[in-house]
Structure 1
């Protein structure tokens, strides 16, 4: 991995020498299961006489021809870079090489469907992996046009950024597809998807009158589960919303959406050829939260067609803007253009909780992060880049106004179409349309790290009228910046069985104390909610009276966004060890049955799992776990038949089940001898129940193998890996460890699923022997594995379930003894340590 790095300094130097024009890429996908033939001809201008390099991760370079000169591959190529000397003013370079398929979700990924043994390929190039498929100047500011010519089995579908041409048969059973040149693009948003994918097609009319072909693709064995009509509907709604909001028609010729196997992310914004994780093809029942998240993801990638693909960041330090804009814009579109009208509640429950969690890690960084090299950007696909950035954009929109914000964005697209930009280019346009000075805002919000905490200091007179109301702002010691906030303050009062908003004021605050004179003289309500409507990015603390009201009447709050804010405030106080985890568990179990928003339920129950497994005092944990599981089962029994809440209560009950009584229930559910009205134990829920039994010592390898034989699919294989890794014996955990550390043959999704199972252990002492093994393996893992696999191992196989001082001490000792290890690796380990230290503090608070 270290030899594949690229520094920003190198990229700046190369961009000063080279200006790219076009790529002709010819790929032969019929040369075997390990490699494919890749021929690249790139045309570019350069400083005469200069030297530089082109990126090409290859197994073998057969030939390199520069301006008619044959260069010796053994001399100029090291398998990662090809050195180019004595460049001319205009240059033509042709490289013929064998490139390698991967099973890591990076580069050109190759998957064999266990259902029918069919081969499926897809590319994933963000950040630095187009060089795994063809020779390329791998940096976003060296844009060019791309022409792909692909030879593959005749019965395959072959999709790229340009419309798919008619194939020409070149020999029996083999054809060639010659795609027309793309518009000017960065290499990381080019794409190739090939295999016997099954497709459904439609079209729409763009705002400029063009007919835009639409396609949806999935593997043959999954195609029956694709709800194409619904996906087309959301796509059309997104097109109409964005073309109107951005004032610019869709910039490409067609729009294909491809669901591909073993994908590392939710989706990828390849221009006109978006790839999605197959988990968004629902073969079994999923929560409404997942359904909504799919819609957000569909519109997130569509937003990228303008912000990211049409106009692209110059370097990866502006990756945050690319992703944060798409996250903000997609949530706005989902809320205003689809049936998921509570999208901002979902944003609060999921995205902002992610942002606050990430921003309190020791690895937190400014939104505009220092990206020195490719390793830096890899680890910065995080909650700051996506969720905090989007949250701050939401606050910016509240400050400058949505109309002026979108007008500035529209001007930005028009001015910089097909080019590369920096943050200042967008700020220039927003300043023009809004009249606001944004450089000071940028300095405070984008160039400093950390999250502020807001509290209300309220004094009342003898009649209960407010005599003084001050919003107090604080900052952590390590990141002491106090920031301006645009926020709303809501007053909520009990009216019958409901807690309803009776007053709202929207204000700007700054500094450590901001009086709110508008509220003087009003009667103090039962609940005062700072940051009502969630305009600001800040942690919120409820005053004592409001907290007591919230705990007693949380389920009575009518507004789902207000409820989400209260849930978030309660959890944040628990994470900060200000309130006992036991109290949070009681709050959740006492109120979650009345929650209506699926993502709020999902997020809150995940936090309940963490509280029970890591934040409760160790001496109380076993009893708390059993009580929480029993309560969830009771909630499932009392929930509306077939409801999303019932489904979620059963899933989380399975995740907590550990006693004989609970495991007996799981067994009866799985064998259908006990049922809940409206609950279907379908394939995927059946796997979750089996994983719970494996973790509880009730299912061995033979049982898991039998289930896999009945569901020998990609998802089944991942679930089987999860279940095997959950077996709570020393032998089982050791076999799990060996499967991912002693071999590099397992694909990315199996490695990830194995880590999930490894962490499950009712008696966490079974993980103790792996502490030393973990730290002795880190250096080799980072050196020998691809980035994504290394990340899955470093994060997923850390025995975090131990959550005690001994693990914290061992982690700190490794960090102290290994200062020379790459910063990206040290960051992942440091984040692991931060989770353990937070758990220890929470345990101490809960023990009081």
Structure 2
């Protein structure tokens, strides 16, 4: 296939034929606001002298092409996406000089002008195949090479790339010329450039290596200047340093990319990108207004996710996009794992269960679901595969794999994998091979069941009891939908919860682990004992499966039984099960709302609270009988204002409940309170009606047709003439 696409077969043939060695990339960012100069000098070998191949490039104009000193006619060799090269030698140097285009859509080199002060900010985003918009290259992950960037930029700018600065000079026109050191061998899609007059905070961190030596890692965090007053760089760098310590400790492989810069950039299409030495983040992770701790935890998780990629994805990279899931799943898993073991967010798996994993369950039950290991035929397939299956289901399944083989065996397998394949490319089989060695488990069957099939299983606990409530037989029943009938092996924990007879407080009365196989798995551990009030399958959330409760258990939840559970993970799993039962129409939307409104006030995990508030809105809008929605809306909005009134001043719950009340407003009295909040006529101790909250109120009034003053949003936008303000006004 020709044009902008690239097939797996074409990439495999090019990788067989060519070996990329070194890129010298020269960029001139002083030529105006639409295009920039790009010269790429590529050194590479060819296994079959005389053969033909091609270089990838997406640029509006090619000025010149030379191959081994011989000039080629750009009109003859460039077709708009490829530079075709014939008559290759054993060793080759190709030089391609082009005019490349700035992007306004987030691919390639994105250019942003800050409406606050007119400053220009540039950054790159390439995955899966947009580095060819910056410079000519072999755009596939398994043709790794060393990259050396030289960037000419305006004198008031700073420039960053993957490696540290080698030399800074000036050209004859007074522009600065930034020459960076060459990288280790990396893939094209993780090369990076950031440029502009960014506000930057610089520091360094020393990591003690196993041999007793010290590794000094320069670290920094940057943001555009107009966001500097809101930028808590110290908090960002604190998590960064904690992550560097932690990953060195568990991976036993020195950080391979010299420095660690974190750039928070505007108009970003993604959450973040793992460019080695220069990680880019969405600047939405810089909070202009008061937010909850869940937001800070989410940012820390993103930092840890991207840092895990330095080893799994950057040091060792997939051969082709079939195994995109592997690096993303590993990083998603490690993001939560690192928070638990290296930061104050020791309940990060609770947030994962109610956030990322909920995303996976949702996407896995859509008609568009697919196996974790997808068939990626070409780059267009790859672009479609950045979804909840690739990221969150994959991470959930890796958590199950760690439980299945044992956590120690899982981490030892990762360590061997990094050492064996450093700066190389791998497939899934390479990882399964080392994990089989460290665990002694046969993972081929496991892989077929978990990675090569789609869909999610449902687990139900069944217990027979005698007249005294003593269990006489118990089992787990596993099921699957007809479209995806695979019954998988599960390593799970089972928790039994009952009220203490003396105090009435609900307690964990027993917990045990077992392997679930096939349709029925016996539970002899429960036999001969009183049946617990709640038998919680998948306690500790080790596997990826929906759980379902008995009628008696659900009735108890409606009476406040979830709030009574002593453990945040147990509550998260109860909430997850209740949600699945609602979504699957096992129980009504009305009952779901009752469970939430009767339990949410006592829920301590703020990420769970915020997720429940989102689900409440979805149930009200989509799951209720339309005839019942007005009454439910009135009940819901009244309860949300009650929760706000009762929230501790300045607490995360106060913030969550005020946004819940704004989104849930439906009655005349609700909108009057919103107007009063906006005007400063209604105040809550500890609550600031800051810019984000003001916009939320204005948008709620407008959405309900209650904005009596048509100029309200225009006046607010005039007061908030920032990129965010313009986005809200639009």
For the superposition of Structure 1 and Structure 2, which TM-score range results when normalised by the shorter chain?
over 0.9
Moved over 4 A (4+): none
- Which of 534, 537, 546 aligns to 1:530? It is 537
Contact 1:148 1:180 in 2 (8 A): yes
C-alpha deviation, 1:393, in angstroms: 0.6
The yes-or-no answer on 1:81 pairing with 2:43 is no
Structure 2 partner of 1:573: 581
Distance 2:504 2:113 in 1: 57
Instruction: Give the aligned partner of residue 24 of structure 1.
Output: 24
- The equivalent of 1:462 in structure 2 is 467
Greater CA deviation, 27-36 or 39-48? 39-48
Match of 1:709 among 710, 718, 725: 718
Conserved 8 A contact 1:5-1:373: yes
1:563 aligns with 2:563: no
2:380 is matched with: 375
2:334 is aligned to 329
Show the counterpart of 2:409.
404
Give me the whole-angstrom Cα distance separating, in 2, the residues matched to 1:664 and 1:676. Answer: 15
**Pick from 651, 654, 670: which aligns with 1:643?**
651
Match of 1:424 in 2: 429
Cα RMSD between the aligned structures? 1.4
C-alpha deviation, 1:10, in angstroms: 1.5
Offset of 1:78 from its aligned partner? 2.3
| Alpha-carbon displacement from aligned partner over 1:182-211 (angstroms, at most 9, x marks no partner) | 000001111000000011111111333121
TM-score when normalising by structure 2: 0.97
Distance in 2 separating the partners of 1:493 and 1:612: 32
Contact 1:158–1:164 (CA<8 Å) still a contact in 2?
no
Contact 1:61 1:73 (8 Å CA) reproduced: yes
Structure 1 residue 554 displacement after superposition: 1.3
**Cα shift at 1:690:** 1.1
Q: Where in structure 2 are the equivalents of 1:237-636 lying within 5 Å?
A: 237-495=242-500, 496=503, 498-552=505-559, 553-636=561-644
Q: Give per-residue Cα distances to partners, 1:342-401, cap 9 Å, x unaligned.
A: 001111111111111111111111111111111211121111111111111111111111
Residue pair 2:558, 2:594 contacting (<8 A) in 1 also: no
The verdict on how the C-alpha distance between 1:611 and 1:82 changes in structure 2, with shifts beyond 3 A counting, is same
Match of 2:302, SS state, is: helix
Tell whether 2:141 aligns with 1:140.
yes
Q: CA deviation at 1:43?
A: 0.9
Shift of 1:547: 2.1
| Contact 1:527–1:547 under 8 Å retained in 2 | no
Separation (CA, whole Å) in 2 of partners of 1:140 and 1:179: 22
Residue pair 1:67, 1:92 contacting (<8 A) in 2 also = yes
Looking at structure 2, the residues matched to 417 and 498 of structure 1 have their Cα atoms a distance apart, in angstroms, of 53
Alignment match of 1:216 (pick from 221, 231, 236): 221
Deviations 1:398-450 (A, max 9, x none): 11111111111000000100000001111111111111111111111111111
Q: Following the alignment from structure 1 to structure 2, what is the Cα–Cα distance between the partners of residues 261 and 240?
A: 29
Question: CA offset at residue 551 of structure 1?
Answer: 2.6
Distance in 2 (alpha carbons) for counterparts of 1:199 and 1:260: 12
**TM superposition shift of 1:223:** 1.4
> Which of 670, 675, 682 is the matching residue for 1:667?
675
Question: Is the 2:19–2:45 contact (alpha carbons within 8 Å) kept by the matching residues of 1?
Answer: yes
Counterpart CA distance in 2 for 1:458 and 1:497 is 23
- 2 CA distance for matches of 1:435 and 1:142? 33
Counterpart position of 1:824: none
Superposed, which structure 2 residues align to 1:181-200 within 5 Å? Answer: 181-200=182-201
**1:677-716 counterparts in 2 under 5 A?**
677-699=685-707, 702-716=711-725
Are 1:720 and 2:725 an aligned pair?
no
SS at match of 1:4: coil
The count of corresponding residues between Structure 1 and Structure 2 is 721
- Judged with a 3 Å threshold, the aligned counterparts in structure 2 of structure 1 residues 601 and 139 are, in CA distance, closer, same or farther, namely same
User: Contact conserved, 1:534 with 1:565, CA < 8 A, in 2?
Assistant: yes
**How many Å separate the matches in 1 of 2:479 and 2:105?**
43
**Whole-Å Cα distance in 1 between the matches of residues 208 and 444 of structure 2?**
34
- 1:151-192 deviation line (CA, Å, top 9, x unaligned): 001111100000134421214541100111100000111100
For the Cα contact (< 8 Å) 1:207–1:249, is it kept in 2?
no
Name 1:113's counterpart in structure 2: 114
What is the DSSP-based 3-state SS (H/G/I as helix, E as strand, rest coil) of the residue aligned with 1:686? helix
Check the 8 A contact 2:274/2:310 in 1, yes or no.
Answer: yes
Q: Distance in 1 between matches of 2:44 and 2:117?
A: 44
CA distance in structure 1 between the aligned counterparts of 2:165 and 2:600, rounded to whole angstroms: 49
The question of whether the paired residues in 1 share the 8 Å contact of 2:119 and 2:197 is answered with yes
Worse-matched range after superposition: 122-131 or 610-619: 610-619
Name whichever of 270-279 and 626-635 sits farther off. 626-635
Alpha-carbon distance, 1:545 to partner: 2.2
Q: Secondary structure at the residue paired with 1:9?
A: helix
Partner of 1:207: 208
- How far has the Cα of 1:697 moved from its partner? 2.1
SS at match of 2:165: coil
SS in 1 for 2:183: coil
Q: Distance in 2 between matches of 1:446 and 1:204?
A: 38
Structure 2: distance between partners of 1:601 and 1:317: 36
User: How far apart in 2 are the matches of 1:458 and 1:554?
Assistant: 21
* Matched residue SS, 1:690: helix
Q: Decide whether aligned partners of structure 1 residues 20 and 531 sit closer, same or farther in structure 2, where only a CA change above 3 A counts.
A: same
For the 8 Å contact 2:3–2:80, the answer to whether it is kept is no
Distance 1:706 1:334, change over 3 A: same
Q: CA deviation at 1:321?
A: 0.7
Unaligned runs of 5+ in 2: none
Deviations 1:317-338 (A, max 9, x none): 1111101101111211100110
Deviation at 1:546, TM superposition (A): 2.1
